[in-house]
Structure 1
Amino acid sequence: MENQLEQIRDQQKQSWNKFSPGWKKWDEFNMRFLKPMGDAIIDSLKIKDGDDVLDIAAGTGEPGLTIAALTPNGTVTGTDLAEGMLEIARANAAAKGVKNYKAQIADVSELPFDTESFNAVSCRMGFMFFPDMQLAANEIYRVLKPGGRFATAVWAGPEQNNWVTTIMSVIQKHVILPAPPPGSPGMFRCAKPDVIANLLKQAGFNDITPIELTGQVDYGSFDRYWQMMMEVGAPIVAAMSQADEPTKNKIKEEVAALFQSQNTGGTALLHYGALVISAQK
């Protein structure tokens, strides 16, 4: 991997470790939010008992922990760059009594597994952050057994995800954020269905099938929304750190007004849109 890509990887590792306490605090909420995407991945993988499954960018453990229940005579290996996140995954596995799950640090660009090791590979909301997505796709293809399936979930476009644009659109009005280089890691990097499809096709996959998911997430209140974003949103916190106190207060006021304008009935709902892409080796 090129030095620049290694730097991106190391920065991501540091960031996810730094924010892992926030992800632990909000784990139940976030896992409920992301469950539809995990369920769609699981449906696409067609897990059978005895399958050995790899869950990449495992974070706090899902959907790998749910998959483990589907293959009690198989194994599920969750990998992530951040040890802080994997510690939460291990704790979640222990709390659920999951015995066939293990978590280990691994870089998707250099997976430490033999060729044709897994019957299925999952990756929920990680692909768009990989420094070299083609290299990641190639590695996933390599570790899959012939006939094995892969499924990933990524965010659709910003217009479908006001759960994050509600806050980021206001921050960008007050804080000068440098434009990222084209193709650099980011939430909406894979928003067009053909992005992942082309990567998988190039890697050798077939039967590539995208589906769209949309829904709402209930934050309960604006204050809860704001607090969570400040504790789990690494890009948001980084942007906010560039603002002085009066500007931070102004940003919060404007975000609150925008949030409330989208919830005129007193609700606390925001929208999400995601793509789930599956393929077979």
Structure 2
Amino acid sequence: MEQQLEEIRDQQKASWDKFSPGWKKWDELMMDFLKPMGDEIIQLLQPKATDVVLDIAAGTGEPGLSIATKVTNGKVIITDLSEDMLAIARENAMLRGITNIETQACDVCELPFADNTFDAISCRFGFMFFPDMLLAAKEMARVLKPGGRIATAVWNGPEKNFWVTATMGTINRNMELPPPPPGAPGMFRCAQDGLITDLFQQAGLKNIKQTEVTGKLNSKTTDEYWNVMTEVAAPIVAALSKADEAMKAKIKKEVYEAVNQRYPDGNVQIDSSALVIYGEK
């Protein structure tokens, strides 16, 4: 792997390790938020009882743990760059009495598995952050059995994801942040219609289809929304760390105004939209 891509990967590993306490704290809320996308992935993969499934970039364990409850005579290998996130996944498995999982910290661009190993692969909100997305897609295809199924979720455009833009948009209006290089990892990197479909085709997958799935971040209050975003969203925390106290206060005030204007009744359930892409080997 090129040195630049290795550096991106190492930065991401450090970032996810750092934010694992926030993800653990807000796990119930975030897993509820992301559940519709995981449900769609599972619906498309149709896991069979004896399947061996790979869940990539699984973080605290979903949708791999839910898949494990369906492959009762099979198993799920849950992977992530961050060992700290996988520790939470193992804890979640233990709490739910799920025993047919293994966890492995690894890089999607260098999967430590033999060719034709898995019946199905899930990857919920990983592609946007992979340094080399085509290499990642090819690696997934390599370890998938002939006839195997793969499904991934990526975020749709910013105009359909106020849960991100309410805060990031306010930060960008107030701070002179350097724009990321074209194609750099980021939330909306895969929002372009057909981008993942094209990657799947280049990786040799077939019967590819794409669907839109919506969800809601049910934070209930603006306070809780702000706390979640400043404890689990790495780009937001990184940007705010460069602001002085006066600027942080201004940004927080404007975010609150934007959210309260959108949800005047105080019931903060923020819409989201993702694209789920399916393919077969």
TM-score range, shorter chain: over 0.9
| Structure-2 separation of matches of 1:122 and 1:2 | 26
Assess if the C-alpha contact under 8 Å between 1:56 and 1:79 holds in 2: yes
How far the C-alpha of 1:95 sits from its partner, in A, is 0.9
| Structure-1 separation of matches of 2:131 and 2:139 | 13
How far the C-alpha of 1:118 sits from its partner, in A, is 0.2
Unaligned 5+ segments in structure 1 are none
How far the C-alpha of 1:175 sits from its partner, in A, is 1.5
The alignment partner of 1:104 has SS state of: strand
TM-score normalised by structure 1 residue count: 0.99
Aligned to 1:257: 257
Aligned to 2:11: 11
TM-score normalised by structure 2 residue count: 0.99
The alignment partner of 2:220 has SS state of: coil
Assess if the C-alpha contact under 8 Å between 2:121 and 2:149 holds in 1: yes
Assess if the C-alpha contact under 8 Å between 1:193 and 1:210 holds in 2: no
How far the C-alpha of 1:192 sits from its partner, in A, is 1.9
Letter in 2 for 1:76: V
| Structure-1 separation of matches of 2:218 and 2:88 | 24
- Partner deviation per Cα, 1:217-257 (whole Å, 9 max, x = no partner): 22110110111111111100000011100111111111100
Aligned to 1:111: 111
| Structure-2 separation of matches of 1:144 and 1:93 | 24
Letter in 1 for 2:220: G
Aligned to 2:171: 171
| Structure-2 separation of matches of 1:218 and 1:69 | 25
Aligned to 1:134: 134
The alignment partner of 1:115 has SS state of: coil
Q: Which moved more, 1:172-181 or 1:62-71?
A: 172-181
Assess if the C-alpha contact under 8 Å between 1:163 and 1:270 holds in 2: yes
What value does the CA root-mean-square deviation take over the aligned residues?
A: 0.7
| Structure-2 separation of matches of 1:138 and 1:190 | 17
Aligned to 1:275: 275
| Structure-1 separation of matches of 2:104 and 2:216 | 32
How far the C-alpha of 1:263 sits from its partner, in A, is 0.6
| Structure-2 separation of matches of 1:5 and 1:115 | 24
Assess if the C-alpha contact under 8 Å between 1:109 and 1:132 holds in 2: yes
| Structure-1 separation of matches of 2:271 and 2:3 | 37
| Structure-1 separation of matches of 2:185 and 2:2 | 15
The alignment partner of 1:215 has SS state of: strand
Matched ranges for 1:13-162 at <5 A? 13-162=13-162
| Structure-1 separation of matches of 2:234 and 2:216 | 22
| Structure-1 separation of matches of 2:170 and 2:13 | 27
- Partner deviation per Cα, 1:167-189 (whole Å, 9 max, x = no partner): 11111122211111111111101
The alignment partner of 2:173 has SS state of: helix
Letter in 1 for 2:22: G
| Structure-1 separation of matches of 2:230 and 2:187 | 17
| Structure-2 separation of matches of 1:102 and 1:193 | 34
Equivalent residue pairs, number: 281
Aligned to 1:203: 203
| Structure-1 separation of matches of 2:123 and 2:88 | 17
The alignment partner of 2:194 has SS state of: helix
Q: Percent of aligned pairs with the same residue? A: 58
Following TM superposition, the consecutive aligned residue runs of length 4 or more in structure 1 with deviations greater than 4 angstroms are none
1:217 equivalent to 2:214? Answer no
| Structure-1 separation of matches of 2:107 and 2:244 | 37
